[in-house]
Chains A and B, each alone.
Chain A
Amino acid sequence: MTERVGTAILAVLAWVGDVSLFGLRALKEAVRPPYEFGETARHVFEIGWRSVPLIATSGFAIGVVLSMHTRASLERFGAEAMIPAGLAIALIRETGPLVTGLLLSGRVGAGIGAELGAMKVTEQIDALEATAVDSFKFLAVTRILACIIALPLLTTIMDFCGIFGGFVAEATVSGMSWHLYFRRAFSLINFDDFIPATLKTAVFGMIIGTVASYLGFTTTQGTEGVGRTSTRSVVFASILIIMTNVVLVKLIFFFFPERA
């Protein structure tokens, strides 16, 4: 039993090591010419722009729910005036970045894993290599970079849609004006709250792009393997995002102690 657990732990560590090397290689290749600007921009559009409806809708709904919960808690202490600020802090510092990362690991991670997996099993990746194109750079690096660029932008959209959702909920209950709500929401927030929390999603983007691309490139066993890659991309990226978030929050508190 102990031996089996040990073997499993070693296998997990070996896998994490392989994925990390894959990601580091991607970063190294990203700064080496020739650059794939066009392909990267196309993926930023595919990954970023096409995710806006999901992120905006989710952000709005989360804002509404957070507002209701915040009201229920603060009402007891007669601190309703703090509702906009409380919601904005929760959204911008933690909820927005984490939920965006998890939603994107589902939408984008599954998509990248399935697409590259299908290309692998149908020899399209080999066909790229045969036409003298660096498949790693063309397929993996461009998608990883696109995820790194898109995640902070989408997180910003999530934050603002969430705050807007909170306003709609609050205005419905208390009739608070738009102007007053936003003044109160941003009264306790400054760039030190927004920048580190939003930029940490670039790391989430790196995780999503790297895990999904790695799994896509190592897909075997035909269409069944493609399905497995798609599922694993979501599961592994989500777990890694949640675990990495713990470390990143600790680092943010270390470098910005006033945020703790």
Chain B
Amino acid sequence: MDGTAPEETAASHERNGEPAICLDHVTKTFGERKVLDDVTLDVRAGTAFCLLGRSGTGKSVTLKHIIRLMKPDRGRVLVHGRDVVALEGRELAEVRRSMGFLFQNAALFDSISVGENVAFPLRRHTDWPDARIREVAKAKLADVGLENDYDKMPADLSGGMRKRAGLARAMALDPDILLIDEPSAGLDPITADEIDELLVDRKKKGTTLVVVTHNIPSARHIGDEFGMLHEGRVIARGTPEELERSEHELVRAFMRSEGSG
């Protein structure tokens, strides 16, 4: 373990503010492979936590546990103090409504237009009139630079545009928590910077961010705190400066890298 031990960090954060998300000794195994191995971490409300690590180390799996797309074999996952592992039905839906999720491959619904993808959560969870829903969906698309693409089908978009549309959909209900899986993957540097700015803006407005990324400059810009997963365990946790001084060569190498994606 490096930097600050998770338990100590959790305690100090509890003092600073209520954690919006807390993973408590979470273990997840697929077949023989332990993807998450006793992972404990927490994210304070209104802050941005960047989850780093090499490919296949369980970062996306961690995000899916937070929104309860996966259940851990052991451990608890608390969101705003409620253990989502034990929730079902309306209670689970209520917690999920407070979160937005950007999937690694965007996961847009390919049978409806880009605009209707963004409007979808609004149609399901508000009783707003159609005109207002379309207006809000257009505004969310404008936030990610897709204001002219409302009527396009997802198949007509590039990978980067799909990603941005996915982000617009994740933000549609103005959730308290945004879970973002590789926001800048497939984006040109200028658009990636714009997305980073958008996320920083969301954070300033009080949204809690959990961002999975390999893009260290982007992570430095967005993140208040970093955690690094390796072989299913959190091997380092702390501020960027703390991770740069890590005893783990892998962590230091990661922090030195300037690669994007």
Q: Which residues of A contact B (CB under 8 A)?
A: 115, 118-119, 122-124, 126-134
Contact = CB atoms under 8 A, between A and B. Distances in A.
A134 B93 contact: yes
A119 B105 CA distance: 12
Contacts of A134: 93
B124 A127 contact: no
A124 B107 contact: yes
Among A118, A127, A133, A134, the one with the most B-chain Cβ atoms within 10 Å of its Cβ is A127
A132 B109 CA distance: 15
Contacts of A122: 105, 107, 110
A131 B120 CA distance: 9
Given A123-B105, A129-B96, 14 more contacts: A115-B111, A119-B109, A122-B107, A123-B103, A126-B103, A127-B103, A127-B107, A129-B69, A130-B69, A130-B96, A130-B100, A130-B103, A132-B121, A133-B124
Interface of B: 64, 67, 69, 92-94, 96-97, 99-101, 103, 105, 107-111, 120-121, 124-125, 169
B124 A126 contact: no
B93 A132 contact: yes
A127 B101 contact: yes
A126 B121 contact: no
A40 B249 CA distance: 56
A12 B96 CA distance: 37
B121 A123 contact: no
B123 to A, nearest CB: 10
Contacts of B108: 124, 127
B103 A132 contact: no
B59 to A, nearest CB: 15
17 contacts: A119-B109, A122-B107, A127-B107, A127-B108, A127-B109, A129-B67, A130-B67, A131-B120, A131-B121, A131-B124, A131-B169, A132-B93, A132-B96, A132-B125, A133-B93, A133-B124, A134-B93
A134 B108 CA distance: 17
Nearest to A38: B123
Select the residue from A128, A131, A133 with max chain B CB neighbours within 10 A.
A131
A129 to B, nearest CB: 6
A112 to B, nearest CB: 13
Sorted nearest first, the 5 A-B pairs with minimum C-beta distance are: A132-B96, A127-B107, A123-B107, A130-B101, A132-B93
Contacts of A129: 67, 69, 96
A194 B120 CA distance: 42
A129 B105 CA distance: 16
A6 B69 CA distance: 36
Contacts of B121: 131-132
Nearest to A133: B124
Contacts of A115: 111
A124 B109 contact: yes
